[in-house]
Structure 1
Amino acid sequence: MLYTLCGRDIAPDGLSLPPAIELQFGHSPQTHATLADGSHLTCEGWPRADLLAEAPVFLRITAPLDALTRMSFLALSLDVNPAMHRPALAWAARRTEIAVWCTTAFSDLDARIWANAPERLSHRAYLVETAPNTGVSDHKAAADFTGHLHLALPGEVAPLLNRIGDDIDEARIADLDAAHLLLHRLGHLNGPISTASDVATKEPQRSPGQLSRLRDILSEPTIYLSRRVRALAEDLAWIDPDAEAAWHETALIHCTETAEGLKDRSSEWPDDLAEFTALSEMIDDATNLLLLLQMDSGPDQVEDAAGLLHQMRCAFDQCRLGHGVAA
Structure 2
Amino acid sequence: MRRDAGTAGDGIGDGAATLAALGRAIASGALAAKDAEIAARLAGRLGAPVRVTLAGLPGSGKSAALNVLAGGRVLPVRGPGGGRAAMPTVQVEAAGPEGPGALLTLAGGGREAASGAAAAPEAIAARGDVAFARLRRDLPALGRITLLELSARSEDALRRAGGWAAARTDLTIWCSRNWTGAEQALWAAMPEALTAGAILLRPPAAGRPGAAAAAAFDHVVSVDLGAALGARGADGTLDAAMMRAAGGPELIGAVRKLVRRTRQALIDRADLLLARNAEALEAMPEAAPGTAPGKSSGKSPGTAPGTAPAAIPFPAPAPAQAPAPAQTPDPAGAPGGKGGIAALARAAARLREAGATLDPSDGRAVIARAVEETARLAEELEEVDDPAADPLRDLAWAAADMAQLLGVERGGAAAGDAAALLLQLRDALPPEAWARAA
Q: Deviations over 1:90-121 (max 9, x none)?
A: 10111001011111121112101101101111
When residues 174 and 141 of structure 1 are mapped into structure 2, their CA distance, relative to the original with a 3 A threshold, is closer
Report SS of the residue matched to 1:133.
helix
- Of residues 180, 198, 201, the one that matches 2:303 is 198
User: Which amino acid is 1:40 matched to?
Assistant: R
- Larger mean Cα displacement after TM superposition, 183-192 or 86-95: 183-192
Match of 1:42 in 2: 113
Q: What 5-or-longer segments of structure 2 have no aligned partner? A: 1-61, 229-245, 316-438
> What is the alpha-carbon distance in structure 1 between the residues aligned to residue 86 and residue 73 of structure 2?
14
Q: What 5-or-longer segments of structure 1 have no aligned partner? A: 205-211, 213-327
- Of residues 130, 143, 149, the one that matches 2:221 is 149
Matching of residue 124 in structure 1 with residue 215 in structure 2 = no
When residues 196 and 144 of structure 1 are mapped into structure 2, their CA distance, relative to the original with a 3 A threshold, is farther
- Larger mean Cα displacement after TM superposition, 34-43 or 5-14: 5-14
Report SS of the residue matched to 1:94.
helix
User: Which amino acid is 1:66 matched to?
Assistant: P
When residues 112 and 34 of structure 1 are mapped into structure 2, their CA distance, relative to the original with a 3 A threshold, is same
- Of residues 168, 173, 176, the one that matches 2:264 is 173
- Of residues 113, 123, 134, the one that matches 1:60 is 134
Matching of residue 16 in structure 1 with residue 85 in structure 2 = yes
Report SS of the residue matched to 1:53.
helix
Matching of residue 2 in structure 1 with residue 2 in structure 2 = no
User: Which amino acid is 1:152 matched to?
Assistant: D
When residues 173 and 42 of structure 1 are mapped into structure 2, their CA distance, relative to the original with a 3 A threshold, is same
> What is the alpha-carbon distance in structure 1 between the residues aligned to residue 309 and residue 250 of structure 2?
30
Deviation at 1:203, TM superposition (A): 11
What RMSD, in angstroms, separates the aligned Cα atoms of the two structures?
A: 3.3
> What is the alpha-carbon distance in structure 2 between the residues aligned to residue 203 and residue 185 of structure 1?
26
> What is the alpha-carbon distance in structure 1 between the residues aligned to residue 302 and residue 86 of structure 2?
42
Deviation at 1:187, TM superposition (A): 5.0
Deviation at 1:126, TM superposition (A): 0.9
> What is the alpha-carbon distance in structure 2 between the residues aligned to residue 21 and residue 50 of structure 1?
13
> What is the alpha-carbon distance in structure 1 between the residues aligned to residue 153 and residue 77 of structure 2?
21
When residues 199 and 15 of structure 1 are mapped into structure 2, their CA distance, relative to the original with a 3 A threshold, is farther
Percent identical across equivalent pairs?
27
When residues 184 and 121 of structure 1 are mapped into structure 2, their CA distance, relative to the original with a 3 A threshold, is same
Report SS of the residue matched to 1:72.
strand
Deviation at 1:151, TM superposition (A): 0.8
> What is the alpha-carbon distance in structure 2 between the residues aligned to residue 118 and residue 147 of structure 1?
18
> What is the alpha-carbon distance in structure 1 between the residues aligned to residue 265 and residue 74 of structure 2?
37
- Of residues 86, 103, 106, the one that matches 1:32 is 103
Alignment of 1:96-245 (within 5 A): 96-130=169-203, 132-138=204-210, 140-154=212-226, 155=228, 157-186=248-277, 188=279, 190=282, 191=286, 192=291, 193=293, 198=303
> What is the alpha-carbon distance in structure 2 between the residues aligned to residue 128 and residue 8 of structure 1?
19
Match of 1:229 in 2: none
Match of 2:153 in 1: 79
When residues 85 and 170 of structure 1 are mapped into structure 2, their CA distance, relative to the original with a 3 A threshold, is closer
Aligned length: 203
TM-score computed with the length of structure 1 as normaliser:
0.53
* Structure ranking higher on relative contact order (CA contacts 8 Å, 6+ apart): 2
Give the conservation status (yes or no) of the 8 Å contact 1:19–1:58: yes
